[in-house]
Amino acid sequence: MSRKQKKKKRFRLDIAIIIGLLIMLISFGTYMVHTSLEDVLEAEYGQPIVTHDYGSSQE
């Protein structure tokens, strides 16, 4: 019984790390779903980038 009384609530580092990783994973997934590659490349280089060309493969 004295052991239960001595036990304190302590900060659980492992749970905090797991929650932090879940938040980062959800944020990254949301960013990837709502952002297209063309938008990112155009913002990075300042001009439209051709990522695929359907015309040459049809000939």
Q: What is the pTM of this model?
A: 0.55
pLDDT per residue as tens digits for the range 1-59: 555 666 677 888 999 999 999 999 999 999 999 988 888 888 888 877 776 777 765 55
Ranges assigned E (strand) in the chain = none
User: In this predicted structure, what is the pLDDT of residue 3?
Assistant: 59
Calculate the dihedral angle through the C-alpha atoms of 29, 33, 34, 38, rounding to the nearest 10 degrees: 120
Q: What is the DSSP letter of 53?
A: -
